[in-house]
Amino acid sequence: MAKELRIGMIGYGFMGRAHSNAFKRLNDFFSVEHRPVLKAVAARNRENAQAFADNWGYERVETDWRKVVTADDVDLVDVCAPNHLHLDIVLAAAEAGKMICCEKPLAMNVAEAEAMVEAVEKAGVPNMVWYNYRRVPAISLAKQIVTEGRVGKPFHYRATYLQDWTISEGVPQGGPGTWRLDIDVAGSGVTGDLLAHSIDTAMWLNGPIARVVASTRTFVTERMHAVTGKVQPVGIDDACMFLAEFENGAMGTFESTRYARGRKNYNTLELNGADGAVYFDLEDPEHLHFFEYQQMQSGKKVEDHLTGWRKIHVSNHEHPYMDIYWVPGTTIGYEHTFLNALGDFVQGVESGEHTQPDFQCALQTQKVCDAVIESGRTREWVETGAE
């Protein structure tokens, strides 16, 4: 017998669409008891929210998010509002005993993230942060390969996350489409928006980042504010590069910018260990590159004429998530990463297992982000405190 999972969505932007798609497709692919019902969407602009609700099939619209968060007919609050609203929404949703799924980054800073962790733990409500790239099957396969010990002792981790959409000085800060450029709304620039993804994946694959040293840059220092109409100083980091030391002894480099002309959503990772390496590029999302150092001669490891990288087409039923989709050799897309995340979350709710990344896990990523921003300011190594 299906159980209703009544969804209250706060916000309706790009992520509102990605999450709504996941809610609608969940039961088409995942064998779970819960059946999402799109109950309500909250946003300040009623007309836009109504258009969104009509398109995706939400039953009603509210202009005050508190009405959705406290509604008796909502079981799960999905937070897709800009970052500066996450704290209040999460605290109210936890107080109301709702399950909570929150867009990344969890918070504006560590203090907020800690308050959110405390709130969901006190309320005992299931919670998750949508770090969706973990759910790219090729990245999940990388995790499996690392867990199986095939990479061996790790030495280097390398991540890049590049975009180019803010190069023009004419792009405003603030407002619906460009709040990511407004420090008071976003909390940080590429560090919280893009590197948070890279950090989450890195710590999932290679354990905690102990310390960082960063260089950050704001290339366009004043922009028109879409809400006030005034030219105002820009407070976000447009680009950020940092070095990291992992607790396991590996070194890491992380690079992110929104000024890499030609790069739209270029997200790569590589981990090099003593026994192997994995490499992934989101522009080629169905492939995982794996190098295995395994040739044995007289009991010793050697390389021979067949040594080389293996390009694995992650589409077999043996690969993560791929048994629920199509036939081997066919692929899935960006939207499925959210569906996979939701499927894992709901399975976790049903089994009582805590699906990762939960708020506690996202707090660790937030600690690294804050340390990166601090180091960008002081130009010194900063201990992250991440576990």
CB of 84 to ligand SOE, least distance (A): 14
Q: How many CA atoms lie within 13 A of 244 on its CB side?
A: 32
Residue 259 · residue 219 · CB < 8 Å: yes
Angstrom distances, CA of residue 169 to CA of 24, 186, 221, 234, 341: 39, 19, 9, 11, 36
Task: By CB under 6 A, name the binding residues for ligand SOE.
Answer: 14, 163, 193, 265
Please give the helix or strand (H or E) that residue 232 lies within, else none: strand 231-233
At 351, which amino acid appears?
Answer: S
Q: Which is nearer to ligand SOE, 14 or 309 (CB)?
A: 14
CB of 29 to ligand SOE, least distance (A): 21
CB of 5 to ligand SOE, least distance (A): 24
Q: Which is nearer to ligand SOE, 10 or 96 (CB)?
A: 10
Q: Which is nearer to ligand SOE, 198 or 272 (CB)?
A: 198
Bridge partners of 35?
A: 4
Q: Which is nearer to ligand SOE, 189 or 273 (CB)?
A: 189
CB of 193 to ligand SOE, least distance (A): 5
d(CA 11, CA 18): 12
CB of 361 to ligand SOE, least distance (A): 17
CB-count exposure of residue 120 (10 Å: 0-12, 13-18, 19+): buried
CB of 14 to ligand SOE, least distance (A): 6
Q: Which is nearer to ligand SOE, 194 or 250 (CB)?
A: 194
The candidate with the shortest Cα–Cα distance to 358, out of 161, 137, 113, 193, is 113
Cα distance from N-terminal residue to C-terminal residue, the chain? 40
Q: Which is nearer to ligand SOE, 265 or 307 (CB)?
A: 265
